[in-house]
C-alpha cells in the first residue's frame, strides 16, 4: 500500500510538471512532427530526432525531453501508417504490422486497420507507462539476468517461430529465413573483427542496412511489380468501408491487444531488438491461439494488426527503462535522448530518479500524454491518410520511390545505400515471382547476427563449454519451448493442420 | 522560415555578390558558403554532441552555417575517407578521432586514405582518459591486485570492450602485454552493451571511456580503479594512474581523443580562419563546461602541434596493435 501511495504521489509530481499548457503544446508539436516525418518511408525517429535536436536547445529541459519523446512516439506510429497503407515498413517492428495491415488496406479496411493500430497503441502505451512508473527499478535488475546464453536461446525461439510468419509454403519460409541469416553475416564480425562478404567495400563493413533491405524487398519490389501488371492493377480505393472498427472488431481484437501489451512490456526491457521481438512474438501467439480465423492471418486479420502494434508500443515504453534507471541508452534513439539530456545539463544515470524527480516523473507522465495526443491527433488524420490511396498511381508510385530514396540516403548520408536498395528491389521482384515471402527473410536478417554474436559470446565466457545453454534455467526454458515448436511443426497430423491454417492462400 | 519576396531577393542579391566577387576577392572573404562538418559516426555519441555544439558556435564566428553531417561506417573510415577525397577548399572538414587517425591505420590491412598525407590537421578538440573499471562487488581494489590475481589465475578473468580494436580493447591488450597476464577479451557490439555486461557481472573488468562510465562510477554501479593517462586527471584526482599503481605498468599512457581535420592542401586563409574559430569556440564557457562535464580535457593546439600529436599516436598504436596481434579487416 505504501508503495502504491508513493507511486501515486510520484505520478502526481509528474503530471504536475507535464500538465502545463506550454508542455502540452510541446508534446503536441513533437507528436505531430514525429507522425509527419514518420509517414515518410525510411525516415525514422533517429534521423528525425537528430535533425530536430538543435530546435530543442532553447527549451527548458523538461519541455525539450517531452517534445523529443513525442517525436519518438509519433515517428513510431507514422511508421505503422505507411506499413498499413503502402506496404512499407518504416521500422523493423512494423514489418509484422504490414503482414495483415496491408492486406486489410487492400480489402478497403485501411481505416479500420489504422484506427485499430491507434487504439492498440494507446492501450499498450497506458499500461506500459504504468509499468514503467511502478516497476522500473526491479525490471532493470531483471534485464541483468539476461546474459548472452539467454539471448541466444531467445533468438533460437524467435527464429523457429519465424516460420509462422509465412502464410505460404513451409520450405520456402525456411529458405527465406536462411537467406536472411546469410545476408546478416555481411560485415565485420563482432567477435574477431574479421570482415565477411564485404568485398573490400568500406560501406559494407558494417553490414547491409535494415532500411535498405526492407525498402528494397517491400517498397521497390511491390511498386515495380504493380506497374508491371498493367491490366490487373489493384484499385482498392473504391471499396473503402468504414474508417473505424465496429463493435465486433473491437471485441475480437481486445484480447490480442492485452496479450500484445503484456509481451511488449516484458520484452521491451531487453536492449537491442526487444520491441521487434515483441511484435513478432505477439503475432505468433495470436496466430496460434486463433481458431478458424476469418479472414485468415496474412489476409487481413485484424488481430494480426492489433496484437503486434500493441506489443511494439508497449515495448517502446518499457525500452526507456534502461535509460531512465541506469542512464545507459539501449538503442540509437535513446542515445540521442541522452545527448539531449546532457545538453540540458542533466547527467543521465542511476541518480536521475532521485536528483531530478521533476524530470523523471514529468517524462513518465508525458509519455502517457504523448500516447493520448497521438490518438487525438491520428484518429482525424486517418480519413486523410486513406484519401492518400486515391492519389493516381502515376503520381503516388514515383512519390513513394522518391521518398524511399531520400529516406535510405538519410540513414548514413551515403548514396551507396540507395544502390543497395535498388539491388534488393530487383531481388524482391524475383521473390514475388517465386512466391517467396520477404517477412521471414527480414526476421532472419535481424535476428541472425544477434544470435551469432550472443552464441559466440556465451561460448567465450564459458570457455567453450556448450552446457551453459542448458544449465541456466531461463535459457533452458526457451530452448525447450523452441523444441516444442519444432515438434509441433514437424508432426504430420499437426503439420496438416498447419497447412490448413497457413495455406488457404494457395488453395 | 517563410520565402517572402524580400528574403528571396536578398538571397538572389547575395548570390550575385558572391559571383561578382571572383577568385581574387575570395581570399579575403573565406568562407562564402556553408561549411560541411562531417562526423564519421552515427548521431548521438559524445563526439557527435561535441561536434554539434562546436558547429553551433563556429557558425557565429565564420558568418556561415556549419552543417553537421553524419557519415558513419567502417569504424569512421567512410566519413574520414569522404573528407580526404573532398576538394581542399576548407568547406569540408571532419571530426577525426583516435580511431580514424591512429588505431584504424594500424588495425586495417587496407586503408582507403593516408591518415597523415591526405589531411591538414586543424586542432585537437578534446581528449578523455579511459578508466579501468570493475563491478562494485569485485574483490579487486587496485590494478596491482588485479594483475596479481590474473597472474595466479591465467585465463580466469574476462575483460569487455566496445569492439575489436577500440581503445578499450587495446588498453587491455597493452596491460596484458606489459604484465605477462592472460585475460580473455570479450568484444561487444558497442561501448554501452559492454558496460552493461560488466554491470551484470558477465565480465570482470573493462577499460571504458571516462565520459561513458562517469555516471555509473558516481552512482557506485561500477568501481573505478585507475585512469589510463600518464598523469592523474583534474576531475577525478583520487584515481591513480595505471603507471603509479604498479611498477609493471610504467609508461602506461592511453586516451581517447578527437579533433578537426581538413583535406590536405587547403588555402592558408581557410586554415587560419578554421583554426581561429575552432579555438575561439572551444574557449567559450558553454563548450568548456560541456567538455568538463564529459570529463574531457579541451584541446585547441596549433595545426603543427596537432600534426605532430597524430604522428606520435600513430606510432604508439602501431606498436600496441602489433604486440597484441589485434586486427580488423
pTM of the model: 0.83
Answer yes or no: is B302 within a domain.
yes
Sign of CA dihedral A211, A213, A218, A223: positive
- Kindly determine whether residue A347 and residue B214, on different chains, have CB atoms separated by under 8 Å: yes
* Residues B243, B250 contacting (CB under 8 angstroms): yes
Answer yes or no: is A507 within a domain.
no
pLDDT of B21 reads: 43
Full domain range(s) for residue A169: 2-502
User: Which residues, in sequence order, are CB contacts of B211 under 8 Å at separation 6+?
Assistant: B46, B128, B294, B295, B296
What value does the CA radius of gyration of chain A take, rounded to a whole number of Å? 22
The average confidence (pLDDT) of chain A is 81
Residues B233 and B215 in one domain: yes
Task: Read off the pLDDT band of B13 (50, 70, 90).
Answer: very low
Note the residue count of chain B: 329
Whether pLDDT at B155 is above 70: yes
Q: Does B81 touch chain A (CB under 8 A)?
A: yes
Spell out which residues of chain B touch residue A329, defining contact as CB-CB under 8 Å. 44, 192
| Residue burial A68-89, b: 16+ Cβ < 10 Å; e: rest | bbbbbbbbbbbbbbbbbbbbbb
Task: Read off the pLDDT band of B193 (50, 70, 90).
Answer: confident
Q: Does B44 touch chain A (CB under 8 A)?
A: yes
Domain boundary (B249, B266, B289) is at B249
- Bridge-based pairing of strands B255-263 and B92-97 is antiparallel
Give the residue with greater pLDDT, A351 vs A451: A451
Task: Read off the pLDDT band of B147 (50, 70, 90).
Answer: very high
Residues B135 and B245 in one domain: yes
Whether pLDDT at B25 is above 50: no
CATH number at residue B270: 3.40.190.150
Residues B204 and B238 in one domain: yes
Average pLDDT over residues A309-321: 86
pLDDT digits (tens, 9 = 90+) for A250-301: 888 889 999 999 989 888 887 666 777 888 888 888 887 877 777 888 888 8
Residues B269 and B236 in one domain: no
Residues B244 and B138 in one domain: yes
Domain boundary (B203, B231, B249) is at B249
Whether pLDDT at A500 is above 60: no
* Residues B161, B186 contacting (CB under 8 angstroms): yes
Residues B140 and B229 in one domain: yes
Answer yes or no: is A170 within a domain.
yes
Answer yes or no: is A487 within a domain.
yes
Average pLDDT over residues B222-232: 94
What percent of chain A shows pLDDT beyond 90? 13
Which residue's entry shows cell 548570390?
B15
Whether pLDDT at B328 is above 70: no
Whether pLDDT at A502 is above 70: no
Q: How many domains does chain A have?
A: 1
- Kindly determine whether residue B110 and residue A328, on different chains, have CB atoms separated by under 8 Å: no
Q: How far is CA B141 from CA A319, B138, B145, B146, B249, in A?
A: 34, 8, 6, 7, 16
The Cα–Cα gap between B310 and B261 comes to 11
Which residues, in sequence order, are bridge partners of residue B37?
A: B68, B93
Whether pLDDT at A91 is above 50: yes
The Cα–Cα gap between B280 and A176 comes to 56
Spell out which residues of chain B touch residue A336, defining contact as CB-CB under 8 Å. 43-44
User: Which residues, in sequence order, are CB contacts of B261 under 8 Å at separation 6+?
Assistant: B83, B93, B94, B96, B101, B119, B120, B121, B122
Residues B184 and B260 in one domain: no
Whether pLDDT at A367 is above 50: yes
The Cα–Cα gap between A300 and B9 comes to 54
Spell out which residues of chain B touch residue A46, defining contact as CB-CB under 8 Å. 42-44
- Kindly determine whether residue B56 and residue A347, on different chains, have CB atoms separated by under 8 Å: no
What percent of chain B shows pLDDT beyond 70? 90
Q: How many domains does chain B have?
A: 2
Give the residue with greater pLDDT, A408 vs A182: A182
For A291-295, B109-113, B231-235, which range has the lowest pLDDT when averaged over its residues? A291-295
Most confident listed range (A46-50, A255-259, A346-350, A498-502)? A255-259
Residue A480 phi, psi (nearest 5): -65, -40
CA B226 to chain A, closest CA, distance in angstroms equals: 21
What percent of chain B shows pLDDT beyond 90? 62
Residues B176 and B222 in one domain: yes
pLDDT of A494 reads: 54
- Kindly determine whether residue B81 and residue A326, on different chains, have CB atoms separated by under 8 Å: no
Give the residue with greater pLDDT, A378 vs A213: A213
Whether pLDDT at B43 is above 50: yes
The average confidence (pLDDT) of chain B is 87
CATH number at residue B202: 3.40.190.10
pLDDT digits (tens, 9 = 90+) for A416-457: 999 999 999 999 999 988 888 888 888 888 888 888 999 999
For A204-208, A257-261, A338-342, which range has the lowest pLDDT when averaged over its residues? A338-342
In terms of phi and psi (left: phi > 0; alpha: psi -120 to 50; beta: otherwise), the region of B180 is left
pLDDT of B16 reads: 45
3-state SS string over A97-123? HHHHHHHHHHCCCHHHHHHHHHHHHHH
Residues B57 and B167 in one domain: no
pLDDT of A387 reads: 79
Answer yes or no: is B16 within a domain.
no
Spell out which residues of chain A touch residue B59, defining contact as CB-CB under 8 Å. none
pLDDT digits (tens, 9 = 90+) for A103-147: 888 888 888 898 898 889 899 988 988 888 888 778 777 777 888
User: Which residues, in sequence order, are CB contacts of B148 under 8 Å at separation 6+?
Assistant: none
- Kindly determine whether residue A193 and residue B184, on different chains, have CB atoms separated by under 8 Å: no
Domain boundary (B249, B281, B297) is at B249
Binding-face residues of A in 277-336 toward B, CB within 8 A: 322, 326-330, 332, 335-336
Query: Quick one: which H or E segment has residue B287?
Result: helix B285-293
Whether pLDDT at A69 is above 90: no
Cell numbers for A17? 510538471
Task: Compute the CA torsion angle B10, B12, B14, B16 (nearest 10 deg).
Answer: -150
How crowded is the C-beta side of A29, counted as CA atoms within 13 Å? Answer: 16
pLDDT of A205 reads: 84
Full domain range(s) for residue B66: 32-127+255-324
Answer yes or no: is B19 within a domain.
no
Answer yes or no: is A299 within a domain.
yes
Of A144, A191, A335, the CB nearest to B199: A144
Residues B260 and B199 in one domain: no
Amino acid at each position: 500500500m505504501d508503495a502504491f501511495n508513493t507511486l501515486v504521489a510520484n505520478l502526481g509530481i509528474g503530471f504536475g510538471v507535464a500538465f502545463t499548457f506550454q508542455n502540452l503544446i510541446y508534446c503536441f508539436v513533437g507528436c505531430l512532427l514525429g507522425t509527419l516525418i514518420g509517414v515518410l518511408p525510411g525516415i525514422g525517429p533517429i534521423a528525425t530526432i537528430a535533425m530536430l535536436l538543435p530546435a530543442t536547445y532553447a527549451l527548458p529541459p523538461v519541455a525539450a525531453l517531452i517534445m523529443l519523446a513525442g517525436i519518438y512516439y509519433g515517428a513510431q506510429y507514422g511508421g505503422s501508417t505507411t506499413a498499413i497503407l503502402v506496404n512499407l515498413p518504416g521500422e523493423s517492428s512494423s514489418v509484422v504490422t504490414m503482414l495483415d495491415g496491408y492486406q486489410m488496406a487492400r480489402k478497403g479496411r485501411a481505416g479500420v486497420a489504422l484506427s485499430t493500430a491507434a487504439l492498440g497503441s494507446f492501450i499498450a502505451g497506458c499500461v506500459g507507462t504504468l509499468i514503467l512508473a511502478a516497476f522500473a527499478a526491479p525490471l532493470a535488475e531483471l534485464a541483468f539476468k539476461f546474459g548472452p546464453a539467454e539471448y541466444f536461446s531467445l533468438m533460437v525461439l524467435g527464429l523457429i517461430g519465424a516460420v509462422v510468419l509465412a502464410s505460404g509454403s513451409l520450405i520456402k519460409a525456411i529458405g527465406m529465413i536462411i537467406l536472411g541469416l546469410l545476408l546478416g553475416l555481411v560485415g565485420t564480425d563482432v567477435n574477431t573483427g574479421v570482415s565477411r562478404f564485404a568485398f573490400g567495400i568500406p560501406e559494407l563493413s558494417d553490414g547491409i542496412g535494415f532500411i535498405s533491405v526492407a525498402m528494397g524487398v517491400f517498397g521497390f519490389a511491390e511498386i515495380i511489380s504493380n506497374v508491371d501488371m498493367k491490366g490487373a492493377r489493384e484499385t482498392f480505393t473504391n471499396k473503402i468501408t468504414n474508417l473505424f472498427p465496429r463493435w465486433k472488431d473491437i471485441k475480437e481484437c481486445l484480447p490480442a491487444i492485452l496479450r500484445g501489451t503484456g509481451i511488449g512490456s516484458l520484452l521491451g526491457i531487453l536492449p537491442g531488438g526487444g520491441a521487434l521481438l515483441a511484435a513478432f512474438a505477439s503475432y505468433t501467439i495470436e496466430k496460434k491461439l486463433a481458431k478458424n480465423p476469418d479472414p485468415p492471418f496474412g489476409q487481413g486479420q485484424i488481430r494480426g494488426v492489433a496484437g503486434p502494434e500493441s506489443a511494439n508500443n508497449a515495448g517502446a515504453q518499457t525500452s526507456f527503462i534502461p535509460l531512465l534507471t541506469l542512464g545507459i541508452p539501449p538503442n540509437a534513439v535513446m542515445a540521442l535522448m541522452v545527448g539531449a539530456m546532457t545538453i540540458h545539463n542533466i547527467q543521465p544515470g542511476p541518480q536521475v530518479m532521485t536528483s531530478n524527480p521533476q524530470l523523471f516523473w514529468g517524462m513518465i507522465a508525458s509519455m502517457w500524454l504523448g500516447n493520448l495526443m497521438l490518438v487525438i491527433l491520428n484518429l482525424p488524420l486517418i480519413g486523410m491518410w486513406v484519401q492518400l490511396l486515391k492519389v493516381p498511381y502515376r503520381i503516388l508510385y514515383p512519390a513513394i520511390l522518391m521518398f524511399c530514396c531520400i529516406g535510405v540516403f538519410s540513414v548514413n548520408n551515403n548514396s551507396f545505400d540507395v544502390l543497395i536498395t535498388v539491388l534488393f528491389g530487383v531481388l524482391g521482384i524475383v521473390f514475388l515471382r517465386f512466391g517467396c515471402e520477404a517477412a521471414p527473410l527480414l526476421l532472419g536478417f535481424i535476428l541472425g547476427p544477434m544470435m551469432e554474436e550472443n552464441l559466440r559470446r556465451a561460448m567465450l565466457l564459458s570457455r567453450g563449454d556448450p552446457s551453459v545453454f542448458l544449465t541456466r534455467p531461463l535459457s533452458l526454458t526457451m530452448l525447450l519451448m523452441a523444441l516444442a515448436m519444432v515438434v509441433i511443426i514437424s508432426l504430420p497430423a499437426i503439420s496438416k493442420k498447419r497447412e490448413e491454417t497457413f495455406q488457404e492462400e494457395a488453395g | 522560415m517563410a520565402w517572402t519576396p524580400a528574403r528571396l531577393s536578398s538571397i538572389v542579391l547575395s548570390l550575385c555578390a558572391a559571383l561578382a566577387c571572383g577568385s581574387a576577392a575570395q581570399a579575403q572573404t573565406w568562407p562564402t558558403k556553408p561549411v560541411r562538418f562531417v562526423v564519421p559516426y552515427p548521431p548521438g555519441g559524445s563526439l557527435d554532441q561535441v561536434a554539434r555544439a562546436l558547429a553551433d558556435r563556429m557558425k557565429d564566428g565564420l558568418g556561415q552555417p556549419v552543417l553537421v553531417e553524419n557519415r558513419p561506417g567502417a569504424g569512421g573510415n567512410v566519413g574520414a575517407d569522404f573528407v580526404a577525397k573532398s576538394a581542399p577548399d576548407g568547406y569540408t572538414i571532419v571530426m577525426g578521432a583516435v580511431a580514424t587517425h591512429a588505431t584504424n591505420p594500424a588495425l586495417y590491412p587496407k586503408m582507403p586514405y593516408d591518415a597523415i598525407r591526405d589531411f591538414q590537421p586543424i586542432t585537437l578538440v578534446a581528449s578523455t582518459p579511459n578508466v579501468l573499471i570493475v563491478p562494485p562487488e569485485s574483490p579487486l581494489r587496485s590494478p596491482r591486485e588485479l594483475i596479481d590475481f590474473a597472474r595466479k589465475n591465467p585465463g580466469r578473468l574476462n575483460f569487455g570492450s566496445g569492439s575489436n580494436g577500440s581503445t578499450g580493447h587495446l588498453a587491455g591488450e597493452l596491460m596484458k602485454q606489459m604484465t605477462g597476464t592472460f585475460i580473455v577479451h570479450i568484444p561487444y557490439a558497442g561501448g554501452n552493451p559492454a558496460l552493461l555486461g560488466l554491470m551484470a557481472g558477465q565480465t570482470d573488468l573493462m577499460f571504458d571511456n571516462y565520459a561513458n562510465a562517469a555516471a555509473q562510477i558516481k552512482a557506485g554501479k561500477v568501481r573505478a580503479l585507475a585512469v589510463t593517462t600518464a598523469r592523474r586527471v583534474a576531475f577525478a584526482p583520487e584515481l591513480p594512474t595505471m603507471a603509479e599503481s604498479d611498477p609493471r605498468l610504467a609508461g602506461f599512457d592511453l586516451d581517447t581523443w578527437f579533433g578537426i581535420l581538413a583535406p590536405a592542401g587547403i588555402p592558408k586563409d581557410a586554415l587560419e580562419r578554421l583554426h581561429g574559430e575552432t579555438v575561439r569556440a572551444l574557449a567559450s564557457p558553454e563548450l568548456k563546461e560541456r567538455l568538463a562535464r564529459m570529463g574531457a580535457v579541451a584541446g585547441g593546439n596549433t595545426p603543427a602541434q596537432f600534426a605532430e600529436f597524430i604522428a606520435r599516436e600513430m606510432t604508439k598504436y602501431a606498436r600496441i596493435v602489433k604486440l597484441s596481434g589485434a586486427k580488423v579487416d
